[in-house]
Amino acid sequence: MAIQEQPALADRVYALLGELDAAEVGSDTELAAIGFDSLAAAELAAAVQRELGVDLVDQRMAGLRTAREVADLVERTAGVTAPAGRDAYPRGMGRLQAFAGGVMGPFSRWWFSLDVRGTEYMPRSGPVVLCMNHESLLDIPIVTVASPRQIRMMAKQELFAKPAGARFFHELGGFPVQRGGFDLRAVEIGLEVLRRGEVLGMYPEGTRTPGVLLPFLPGAAWLALSTGASLVPFAITGAHAAMPKGAKFFKRVPIRVEFGSAIAVEREDDPARRRQRALQLTEALQVEVAGMWNGGRVAD
């Protein structure tokens, strides 16, 4: 009996790409034609690690145009050992959050007349993706004070540019994400946070947008679908007035925050269905956040 040859590595990569969009993929397939975005990059990285044993987390995938370029990247990376000391869950992340919350809590409630609503909607245990609008740099400490559970926060990379700032945000519970790119390292950390049954905080708008609510990106919903975590909407109002962009000090302005009802999410293992379901969940999530956010502005 003839021995069946194993398919070339490139062919296996094309097959994995095809599974993301239920499409036939060849070397000349344009990635844009199969909707290759940040979610698809995360899906592919997980599949390549699982099926081929190739670690793409530290590889740059943004800017690739064709399936052949993806296959070339996988071929170059095959056999490359992941950097020593890279932890899926950074050591010491959030170790000072409880202390900081204890110190900042009484001050925030007094100085900002902090009005916290809906804490009963936060699940008392299990993985949660807390999805919030983004008004100000005050958002991170305010949500830390308001939440009944500790949070690990995905925050823009620029906050970690200087050693002092990186140390502060790391120990407060933050980890960096590169905006505008396929940051597979941030995805790896986010998934590990949820696998540990913790709360992951995210800004689905992708950037700070005081006074307006931008369309939500589907990353938060995708992470929930990948792990079976609940989605909890969260709205904050007043933080921008208290500390506008560029301000060095915060003003004594009332801030209101509200937790919405948790959205139960079942884990979805099929890549194509998971991406589609993420889009649907994201729409529902934005409706919930927008309702609370608008309500808070009217109240103000």
Could you report the per-residue pLDDT of 222-259, keeping only the tens digit for each? 999 999 999 999 999 999 999 988 888 889 999 999 99
pTM, entire model: 0.89
Could you report the per-residue pLDDT of 54-92, keeping only the tens digit for each? 999 888 888 899 999 999 999 999 877 666 667 889 899
Counted residue by residue, the chain has a size of 300
Number of CB atoms found within 10 A of residue 53's CB:
9
CA–CA dist 204, 284 (Å, integer): 12
- Return the SS3 of 85: coil
In angstroms, how far is the first alpha carbon of the chain from the final one? 78
Indicate whether 298 pLDDT > 70.
no
Span 3-27, mean pLDDT?
Answer: 79
* Whole-number percent of the chain with pLDDT over 70: 94
Indicate whether 282 pLDDT > 50.
yes
207 or 13, which is more confident:
13
174 or 20, which is more confident:
174
What average pLDDT does the structure give for the chain? 89
pLDDT band with cut points at 50, 70 and 90 for residue 4 = very low
CA–CA dist 139, 145 (Å, integer): 10
Structure tokens at 180: 């505008």
Gyration radius from the chain CA atoms? 21
Q: What's the pLDDT score for residue 82?
A: 65
The pairing of strands 230-237 and 256-259 is: antiparallel
Q: List the domains of the chain with CATH numbers.
A: 9-77 (1.10.1200.10), 97-299 (3.40.1130.10)
Q: What's the pLDDT score for residue 109?
A: 92
CA–CA dist 207, 130 (Å, integer): 16
Structure tokens at 257: 């925050």
Number of CB atoms found within 10 A of residue 200's CB:
26
Q: Say if residues 277 and 266 touch (Cβ distance below 8 Å).
A: no
Could you report the per-residue pLDDT of 42-58, keeping only the tens digit for each? 899 989 988 998 999 88
Structure tokens at 292: 């609370």
Span 194-198, mean pLDDT?
Answer: 97
